[in-house]
Amino acid sequence: MADFKLTPTMQAVRKVLRSAGVSGLTDSEITDALLASGLPEAPSSTYRKRRTELAQAGVVVWNGARRRNKRGAMEKVWVVKRAR
């Protein structure tokens, strides 16, 4: 993944996840945080897709936890992968 480049939206997703620390964020929480930070409103799948790409690249990982979203459904909690 040496040639993997982060788009501005991917950088924003990584930034909010990094700021959440070990508590991490669900996809819904990522979207809420990005909208609160002033990013333009976009379909929720936009930010989820960017998080998925970050996970596939090994930049973010599921921390094993799940939390309920506003609709009551369980969502995975994501964190930035720690450097070893």
Q: For 48-64, what is each residue's pLDDT tens digit? A: 999 999 999 999 999 99
Which residue, among 22, 7, 36, 11, has the nearest Cα to 78 in the 3D structure?
Answer: 22
β-sheet bridge partners, residue 76: 66
Domain ranges of the chain: 26-80
Percent of the chain whose predicted confidence (pLDDT) is above 90: 77
- The model's pTM is 0.88
